[in-house]
Amino acid sequence: MDFGRVITAMVTPLNEQLEIDWDQVGPLVDYLIDEQGSEGLVVCGTTGESPTLTDEEKLKLIEAVVKHANGRCKVIAGTGSNNTHHSIELSREAAKLGVDAILLVAPYYNKPSQEGLYQHFKAVAEAVDVPIILYNVPGRSIVNIDADTTIRLSHVPNIVATKDCAGTDQLTIVAAGAAEGFTVYSGDDSMTLPALAVGCHGIISVASHVVGKEMRELVEAYTSGDVKRAAQLNAKLLPVFSGLFCAPSPAPVKYALQLKGVETGSVRLPLIDLSEREQAFVASLF
């Protein structure tokens, strides 16, 4: 299933009291669609500080983004959890709000086996009537959804895509072996071009908050056969891709947005804002 080539994992705007800044949600959505060219938005994902949002906040934010986007881009809700029952309940509520898909992160901390991972995702898929995107991020969740498990899950009817951060070897195996119509996205900005080269469809991105149009240009250059141009754009963007992770995300990208005049506020503890040195480094990227 095609949700676009460049999808932004959207930050959550916060006010000075670290509450969701509802007045900034609409302008942020407009900016990402109109100025950065986002074809889809992931709401309440890692970049959206999902671990520090309540379910009530998540559902209200998902609803606000769906309404404001108004069909201009795909809206994907992060509803994953390491508690299968909780993920089912949150996914059901998100589905009622009109999202185009839900994103389910691999269960973290409790370290399930590959069969446990399969049964977890299958249980959520059977409980909801909405397309599901798997999210494999072993650097955060500790467990890897192995390529064979992802391929097996690709045959579950409403599991339609994966966002995978496990590297090009795994992306290659999944892209080659998954069910027909199953879409593979890289979840690592720095891997955008290599991922396309091994058969991925696109990127679910952090950097597209600030270099989205350039990323669209990179993808379009590659898919149109202008590999040299894609390589040149990739080389230019690599410092931004890596630099936006100079500190725990999303603090760097929130500061980058501030430099562009887009106010999304601070981050909630246990994350902290950038130091002056880190701010200077991020500013040097643009």
Catalytically active residues, by annotation = 135, 163
> For the range 63-66, what are the long-range contacts, defined as Cβ-Cβ under 8 Å and sequence gap of 24 or more?
63/97, 64/22, 64/25, 64/26, 65/10, 65/25, 65/29, 65/41, 66/97, 66/98, 66/99
Q: Which residues contact 100 (CB under 8 A, 6 or more apart)?
A: 3, 40, 74, 75, 76, 131
Cα separation, 41 vs 48, whole angstroms: 11
Three-state DSSP class for residue 74: strand
Pick from 107, 38, 92, 84: which is nearest to 62 by CA?
92
Give the Å distances, CA to CA, from 223 to 130, 203, 226, 233.
Answer: 29, 13, 7, 13
Beta-carbon contacts of residue 265 (< 8 Å; ≥ 6 apart)? 13, 14, 15, 16, 18, 21, 24, 254
